Every structure is written in C-alpha cells, then in structure tokens.
Chains A and B, each alone.
Chain A
Amino acid sequence: MAKIIRIPTPLRKLTNNEELVEVTAATIGDAIKELQARFPGIEERLLDEKGEVRRFVNVYVNEEDIRFLQNRTTPLKDGDEISIIPAIAGG
C-alpha cells in the first residue's frame, strides 16, 4: 500500500485534475519531491525560496499538522493520508 496525498482545488490544474495522488516516499519532504517529479511546478507552489513549506500552506498527516510532528522530515508509513490545505480565517 502507498501513501495518499489529497490535492487541494487550487493545485489540481497541475495534477490533471487528479484529487488523490499515491506516493511511495518515506517522508513529507520526499513526498513533495516525488510530486514535483510527476507534476513539474508543484514544488514551488508548496515551498518558498528557502525550501520551507510556505507560510500559508498547511500540511497534515492523518489530520495532524506537520508543525506538531517533524515538519518536512515527518516520516510516512503505508496507508497514511496527507492533506494540503490553505490557511483560513477565524470564526
């Protein structure tokens, strides 16, 4: 079994409208590289010039924010679900 990444609407133009993408990478950082290899251009949308996850991009592994895990070095195991979500306003 692989790991599944949910692609948010604004990025689906890059993934040929695919909503769910499977990867085999062992960390979040590698998963982004794997996405980039398949869908060129997606990396610069997610990472800033310094290679950090952009400040308005939130990445979750099984519903947990990677900033509470190990950021880009967060390990992934088979069956994990990764969500990429823009930060949104209060309420």
Chain B
Amino acid sequence: MKALKCRECGREYPLEATHVCEFDFGPLEVAYDYARIKKSLTREAIASRPRSMWRYRELLPVAKEPTVGLQVGFTPLVKADRLAAQLGIRELWIKNDAVNYPTLSFKDRVVSVALSRAKELGFTTVACASTGNLANSVAAQAAAAGLKAYVFIPSDLEQGKIINSLVYGANVIGIKGHYDEVNRLCAEIAGKFGWAFVNVNMRPYYAEGSKSMAYEIIEQLGWRIPQHTIVPMASGSLLTKIQKGYQEFVKLGLVTESKYSIHGAQATGCSPISVAQKAGLDFFKPVKPDTVAKSLAIGTPADGFYALKAMKETNAHADDITDDEIRDAIKLLAETEGIFAETAGGVTVGVAKKLIAAGKIPHDSSAVICVTGNGLKTLDAVTGHVGQPREIKPSLREFEALLSAETVAA
C-alpha cells in the first residue's frame, strides 16, 4: 500500500480510517506499488501458498500479515455443463461464494480485509450498515477476532439473516427503513463514534477484498480471463473490483490480456444502474427499492457511476429481472447444478439467461456467473414456490400407491 487516493480528483491521503476526499467527497481508493509487487507475486509463489484469498496478499490492503479470516475465499469454480445446456452457451462456470467461509457469502472476503486492517489501526469496536450478508460476516468474524460489533440492518430483513447476526453476540440494531436510510444514519454515526465502520470509514480497505474473487477466477480457469463475467449489482462495488482484479493481473504479467466483458445484474424492483446502462447514460437516478432480492436493494448505489464506466469500458451490458424470474432462476440453478443460491444469485443467473437469449452474450462463448450468497439465508423468498413434501404413513403400500398415482398423472 502506498496511500489512499481520491477516485475523482486524485488527491492523496495517509493510510488511515477515512473514506471520502475532503475536497469533493469522492471515494478514496488504495494505491499500490505494482513495480514492487511484481517482484514477489508470481504464479509459482501464489501456487505455493494456502488455498485462501490471502494467497494474493500483496494485492490486499494490510500492512502486516492478516489476522482475521485467514481461511476465507478460494471457493469452488464449478463447471456448469447442465446449466450451460439450458441457457444455450458453449462454456459456463459458477464461481460459488455461496459456500464461502465462515458465513456463506462473498462478504466474508471484504470483512476479512476490513477487520485485519481495523486491528492494525488499533480499533476495538467494528460496525457496518448492511442488507444482511455483511452483517452476518462482521458479526462472525468480529466474534472470532475478539472485537465488539455493532451491525445496523433494515428491520424487515429475512429472518435467516437476522438470526445469523444475533447468534454471534453482535449488537444488532434494526432500523425502521430501507437500506439507503440505514446507510445515511450510519454515515452520521460513523462521524461521531470512534468505530471502524467497515463500509464507511474502512471502505477503501474493505472494498479491495472483492478483487480476490477476480484473482481466483483467473487462477482457477487455468490463468485466463473469462470472455464474459456476470456480476450482481447492489452498490456496484463488486463489479468495479472484478474489473480492477482482472486489470491488476494483466498489469503484473500474471495473465495474458484478452477481450472480456463484465455484465451487471439487478432486480427490476431496484434497478437504477441497469436502467441507466440500457439507456446509454453515465449517471443514474436513485430509486426506492421494492424487490424480493433484499441483499441488492440499494436505491442510491454509491459505486453506480463507476459500475457504468466499467461496463462501458468492457463493452458489457446490464439487465434486470422480476421477482418471479428471480425465483425461477434460483430453481433452475438448483435443479441443474445442485447449488442453492440466495435471491442475488437468482438475479445473476436470470440476467445471464436473458443476456444469452438476447445474443448480448454470444452462444459460442465462455462465461462465469458470480453467485455471491447462500439460499439457506433467504428461505422466505422461495417458500411456497418450490412445492411441498408429499406425506404418507410409513407403509410400503402407501408409497407404491403414491408412485403409481404419480406415474398415471404424468
């Protein structure tokens, strides 16, 4: 790490817990010394290290060795032939962060970085504003690191996501409002208390953790960049960090440069970035979210401008799908690949299907779909849409009767 740098005007700041440029409020980003990194980060060095996101440690913003979340990342990249056949594409992979450690979402990556850095900076209390997954990961990893945690969530979140924060002993504060309101409150709280707010004053470090997903995709594909990557968009941060990850590996000579597109997926009930992309705009209009995909329900996406720019630079597309299409896509992924994704995963698979059908992702290409969260946390979203068990007495005769009745019906 060299410094924090404003993405808007380039002003530099020391490597502290600060996230906005004092001049224009632009987001700060970590700047690295790539010439130095190039000397130690080779394919051989990476291959010799533990199978976690920390094998790319030089490109993650901690000063010393990481101390929180050493087992996070290196999730499976699954070759999805059965789903590929359904969607009509030559080669398809699922990057499956639904089984990330320890809390089953890609947020484990960003939190591992944020808390490691927070400890370096001497913080003892960590906090976040969250749509659920982030809260779970902050709660769990803070517990494991012996840090005190405050997590702020919209009070109407899925039960699974609430319990998954409470169980770790975190202070869970439900805010009567949507995520954008939670975010606004947390921005005010963060200015007042001396806490490490992972997605407020720790954001420059936190956000960098997402790049590890891009590094893993390249390495797991045998050191190549996929032609198409489909990413869910809430704030838009993940999409921009996947692009940054691909660019860094090219810059470091770890992978040959090739053409690639990074497409963005949203739910129609909260689609400010997708609507702007389809209209060819480089700015978006904030919306009030109304979708079953609560983890993506950010109406004022902070990285929306940069996500639009990244899609433009990589000749990519965005699209959005309805709540019913989201549920169908969750089922399609589960039935073809045995992967139960949360609603955001449904959004990503469903939008991939739409982009392939429209020819925006060519049939004769290869693509990676990023699944970022686990379906067990959003059971509410699919309850009543996946059928019911058929109940019988423990009797062979009843079972045979059931089978023959169903055979006749079929």
The reply to whether B181 and A63 contact each other, CB–CB distance below 8 Å, is yes
Q: Which of A58, A60, A65, A90 contacts B303 (CB 8 A)?
A: A90
Tell me whether A90 and B22 are in contact (CB under 8 A).
no
Judge whether A90 and B25 touch: CB under 8 Å: no
B179 and A67 contacting across the interface, CB-CB below 8 Å: no
CB nearest neighbor in A for B132: A91
Give the interface size class of chain B: 35 or more
Instruction: Output the nearest chain A residue to B238 by Cβ-Cβ distance.
Output: A90
Asked if B235 is an interface residue, CB under 8 A from chain A, the answer is yes
Query: How far apart are the CA atoms of A85 and B191 in the complex, in Å?
Result: 10
Bound complex: CA A68 to CA B287 (Å)? 8
Is there an interface contact between B199 and A88, defined as CB atoms closer than 8 Å?
yes
Cα of A86 to Cα of B302 in the assembled complex, Å: 9
Which residues from A are CB-within-8-Å of B333?
none
Q: B302 — nearest CB in chain A belongs to which residue?
A: A87
A27 to B: closest C-beta gap in Å: 20
- When the two chains form their complex, are residues B286 and A88 in contact, meaning their CB atoms are under 8 A apart? no
B207 close to A89 (CB less than 8 A)? yes
CA distance A11 to B305 in the complex (A): 23
Taking a contact as CB atoms under 8 Å apart, the answer to whether B184 and A45 are in contact is no
Contact A90–B19 (Cβ < 8 Å) = no
Looking at the assembled complex, report how far the CB atom of A45 sits from the nearest CB atom of chain B, in whole angstroms: 7
Beta-carbon contact of A56 and B236 below 8 Å: no
- The answer to whether B300 and A87 have CB atoms under 8 Å apart is yes
A91/B129 in contact, CB under 8 A: yes
Most buried by A among B179, B186, B207, B302: B302
Give Cα distance in the complex from A63 to B286, angstroms: 15
Instruction: Report Cα–Cα, A80/B200, bound state, in Å.
Output: 26
CA–CA, A67 to B184, complex, Å?
14
Contacts A83-B188, A85-B188; A68 near B129 (Cβ below 8 A): no
Chain A 44-85: CB-based contact to B (< 8 A → 1; otherwise 0): 010000000011111010010101100000000000000101
User: Which of A56, A57, A58 gathers the greatest number of chain B CB atoms within 10 Å?
Assistant: A56
25 A-B pairs whose Cβ atoms sit less than 8 Å apart in the complex: A13-B22, A54-B25, A55-B305, A56-B27, A56-B302, A63-B181, A63-B184, A67-B286, A85-B184, A86-B20, A88-B19, A88-B129, A88-B187, A88-B200, A89-B27, A89-B200, A89-B206, A89-B207, A89-B237, A90-B131, A90-B298, A90-B301, A91-B107, A91-B131, A91-B133
Q: Which residues of A contact B (CB under 8 A)?
A: 6, 8-11, 13, 45, 54-58, 60, 63, 65, 67-68, 83, 85-91
Across the A-B interface, the 9 shortest Cβ-Cβ residue pairs: A90-B235, A91-B134, A91-B130, A87-B302, A90-B234, A86-B20, A9-B191, A56-B25, A86-B25
Residues of B within 8 A of A (CB): 8, 19-27, 107, 128-131, 133-135, 179-181, 183-184, 186-188, 191, 199-200, 203, 206-207, 234-237, 283, 285-286, 288, 298, 300-303, 305
